[in-house]
Structure 1
């Protein structure tokens, strides 16, 4: 699997990308076991060649991140070794008197390649804002990593209204990081997070289509990929593949076999 680049040659399609966040569900031991199982599946002799055509990421907690980076770096196959290790958050400054915070510079130093930012839980529980996410995204890009920025409307309504609400969040981040930076947008309607079913396919595709048509997204020189999150599971991506570049998975993918199944679906859709 090739390393994601900051831009695309004309006519080259965006690489699909799919991954999972463990939030705060896993113990350290379970994280290690889970990652070992996923890497073993990716290193198996019968792994489909199509998996080399997508980007795969795993986002553990901060405590286990360096251990996961070591597991990935010493995996048995090139495919497994190319998995992007992510972090669930970072601070907007690289160093300073910020007790309890995590530096993007240190994350990059220990092998982190991608950082999740702006999740609805952090906004609801810790008072983070679009401006906070934008400042953190700048730190991520400054340190050579990819910001995975969560965006989404609070409640379901008209597509045009949802797109406007999401675009405010998107614009803040894209303006902060500049035109050359690679960004992954995780479209997660807040009302669909943790729900029994994902948001309706037609609704998701219409919102994302409006995002792609915006001058902020359309006019950028770097890659801007859009993935769907919010109760995502098996069989979903095939319905979204026309507009979406991948999936951001949660608890469904906390079982290695189910995660691997979804990777195959995204690669082969």
Structure 2
């Protein structure tokens, strides 16, 4: 008998967050431009998500309707309803058309004191409301010795992963965004060898949980043109920052990821 064909590869994943860089008109203009990329996204056979601010989620959902491009949110609270002034309900996010929710970004952890336990509670709420958590993980420490750097990264990221996953249903889809804290906002992304080695070890951590749900790992942290080509054998996609705030740059990365 001829050998069986390899199982189909999961679709690559590409996304970007606008953080708080744009005002309202600029955000809506950007979302309209991203919607025009739908044919390129389909041709590249990837999943694309975009994460605007909370205020523009509803009009953004309208602009992205029918494009296949996923709408994300930058955070969520861990409860659906209640006296939690200023927080955003995961139930309402789902009702607004959100499918991906970013959680535990290094800025949230540093500026607002979010812990692994906080992120885990939010991730559980996101899954409970039918959305996919995009859980940001990454090491603060950086070693100039390559062999030590990978071990440090894995040791710091492992509890972030396990704490989040242990509170989720076994079959829940999860996205992990590996973003070395020291590489966020830097002039260059982390080295390809480092990223691939770390992600391989993080996949082993996930596999050790024997989960049935899909877990995709993307790289973020000063990712830009040419980054995916160096990492394609190790990661499932990219989570872009300010580079992708120029839609033409985002389009270039979509082309780079085509048929990858």
TM-score (norm. length: structure 2): 0.92
Q: 1:19 aligns with which of 15, 25, 47?
A: 15
Q: Distance in 2 between matches of 1:190 and 1:255?
A: 23
Could you say which residue in structure 1 is the equivalent of 2:108? 122
Q: Distance in 2 between matches of 1:119 and 1:203?
A: 20
Q: Distance in 1 between matches of 2:24 and 2:131?
A: 24
Report the alpha carbon displacement of residue 14 of structure 1 after superposing the two structures with TM.
Answer: 1.7
Report the alpha carbon displacement of residue 215 of structure 1 after superposing the two structures with TM.
Answer: 5.2
Q: 1:37 aligns with which of 33, 40, 45?
A: 33
Task: Please say if 1:59 is aligned against 2:55.
Answer: no
Q: Distance in 2 between matches of 1:256 and 1:58?
A: 11
Q: How big is each residue's C-alpha offset from its partner over 1:114-152, in whole Å with a ceiling of 9 and x where there is no partner? A: 000000000100010000000000000000000000000
Could you say which residue in structure 2 is the equivalent of 1:189? 180
8 A contact 2:41–2:254 mirrored in 1 = no
Q: Distance in 2 between matches of 1:229 and 1:143?
A: 26
Question: For this pair of structures, how many residues does the alignment match?
Answer: 250
Could you say which residue in structure 2 is the equivalent of 1:106? 92
8 A contact 1:232–1:250 mirrored in 2 = yes
CA change 1:237–1:204 in 2 (3 A) is same
Could you say which residue in structure 2 is the equivalent of 1:153? 139
8 A contact 2:41–2:48 mirrored in 1 = no
Could you say which residue in structure 2 is the equivalent of 1:6? none
**Uncovered stretches (5+) of structure 2, i.e. residues with no partner:** 1-5
What is the alpha-carbon root mean square deviation over aligned residues? 1.5
Q: Distance in 1 between matches of 2:208 and 2:126?
A: 19
Aligned partner of residue 253 in structure 1, secondary structure: helix
8 A contact 1:182–1:222 mirrored in 2 = yes
Q: Distance in 1 between matches of 2:118 and 2:208?
A: 20
Q: How big is each residue's C-alpha offset from its partner over 1:141-173, in whole Å with a ceiling of 9 and x where there is no partner? A: 000000000000002132112101101100011
Aligned partner of residue 222 in structure 1, secondary structure: coil
Which structure 2 residues correspond to residues 75-94 of structure 1 after superposition, within 5 A? 81-94=67-80
Q: Distance in 1 between matches of 2:258 and 2:72?
A: 20
Q: Distance in 1 between matches of 2:91 and 2:59?
A: 17
8 A contact 2:38–2:69 mirrored in 1 = no
Q: 1:209 aligns with which of 197, 200, 205?
A: 200
CA change 1:218–1:135 in 2 (3 A) is closer
Task: Please say if 1:28 is aligned against 2:38.
Answer: no
Q: How big is each residue's C-alpha offset from its partner over 1:215-255, in whole Å with a ceiling of 9 and x where there is no partner? A: 55662101000000000001110111111000000000001
Report the alpha carbon displacement of residue 263 of structure 1 after superposing the two structures with TM.
Answer: 1.4
Aligned partner of residue 29 in structure 2, secondary structure: helix
Q: 1:140 aligns with which of 114, 122, 126?
A: 126
Report the alpha carbon displacement of residue 49 of structure 1 after superposing the two structures with TM.
Answer: 5.3
